[in-house]
Structures are given as structure tokens and as C-alpha cells.
Amino acid sequence: MLSNVPSAFGLQRAEDAGIKSTCINHKDFDNRLAFDEAMIRRIDFVKPDIVILAGFMRILTSQFVNHYANRLINIHPSLLPKFTGVNTHQRVIEAQERWHGASIHFVIPELDAGPVILQGRLELRVNDTIETLQQRIHKIEHQLYPLAVKWFCEGRLSIQNNKVLLDGETSPLQLQTFDL
């Protein structure tokens, strides 16, 4: 487990679970490329089959993304391609959307634009706030992200010509509706 924030709860959670973890603080580097190169060296040391981003709120360089092409996966709290970037819950409420959700996607150099593997959605409630939406969306994320990672680890998930393949077939967008 790797974090760029020394106080990240994930570091403690990893330690409690007996998972080796480290922090490479982006503030210790003069520029984004130097930081990404340090992460690449650390990640490559363990020779991962997959790199999973979770709660990582830094834009990665093209060099980093391309280094892990077709095995770099991210989770985003919106129904991509809608609401890329940050403050998604607030923006969804302000736009008076009917649906909101989470997307699991392969990472490409363009922000939140990679091919979507899975999406989960829920219907907004009249009394939803940023906080209630965030809590509800986290429940979706906690169900879908492990499934996408499982598919990848089982060799069932891949990407070809910017299309997601599940069991070697072009996968129609996997969209699940949740009543949370």
C-alpha cells in the first residue's frame, strides 16, 4: 500500500492488517514528474499485476499512467462521463440530477476518461446532502471495486482498443442500480 499523505487512515488500516505500506509525500518533490518517478520505483519494486487507486487525489503524469497501461484502475464518485474531477456530490445536487453513482474505470492520461468497467447508481432523495450522498456512494464503491479487482485478478478483465473486455468479449457497460 502506498500513500502520498502521511496521515492517511489507509496507512494505519494496512498496518493493522499486516500489509506493508509506505508513504511518499508529494510535498517532498519539486515537481509532479519527480514524484511520479519515485512512485514508479517503489511500485515496480513489488512487481504488481494491477495498480489500484483509492482515495488518491493527485493527477498523475502521462508517464506514470502509460507505465501501468491496462493495469491501472481507479474509482470515481460519479456516473462517468458526467462530473469528472472533484466535488461530484455537490455538483450532482446543484444540477438536480435524478441519479448519482460510482464508476470503476481503467486510467488513461485524460482525467476520469478511461473505459468504464462497472458503474453503480442510486436515485437521489429530496433530503440528500453532500454528506449523505457520500455515505451512500461509498456503499456502492465498496461493493463494485472488489468485484472489478477480482475479475482482473482472475484474468477475466482486460482492455483492448480502449474497450473493456470481460471474458474476452466486449463488455456492455455493467450498470447496477442500488436501493440505499
pLDDT along the chain (180 residues), means of 10: 91 92 94 96 96 90 97 96 96 97 96 95 96 96 95 92 89 77
**Which residue out of 67, 76, 100, 105 is catalytically annotated?**
76
Other beta carbons within 10 Å of 123: 14
Task: Check residue 172 and give its pLDDT.
Answer: 64
Residue 5 and residue 23: Cα distance in Å, rounded? 7
Task: Check residue 173 and give its pLDDT.
Answer: 65
Give the CA angle between residues 52, 161, 170 to the nearest 5°.
80
pTM of the model: 0.92
What domains lie within the chain, and their CATH numbers?
Answer: 1-47 (no CATH), 49-177 (3.40.50.170)
* In the block, residue with C-alpha cell 450522498: 133
Task: Check residue 179 and give its pLDDT.
Answer: 87
The verdict on whether 89 is a catalytic residue reads no
Residues 1/11, Cβ–Cβ less than 8 Å: yes
Write the pLDDT tens digit of every residue in 24-38: 999 999 999 999 999
Write the pLDDT tens digit of every residue in 128-148: 999 999 999 999 999 999 999
Residues 28/34, Cβ–Cβ less than 8 Å: no
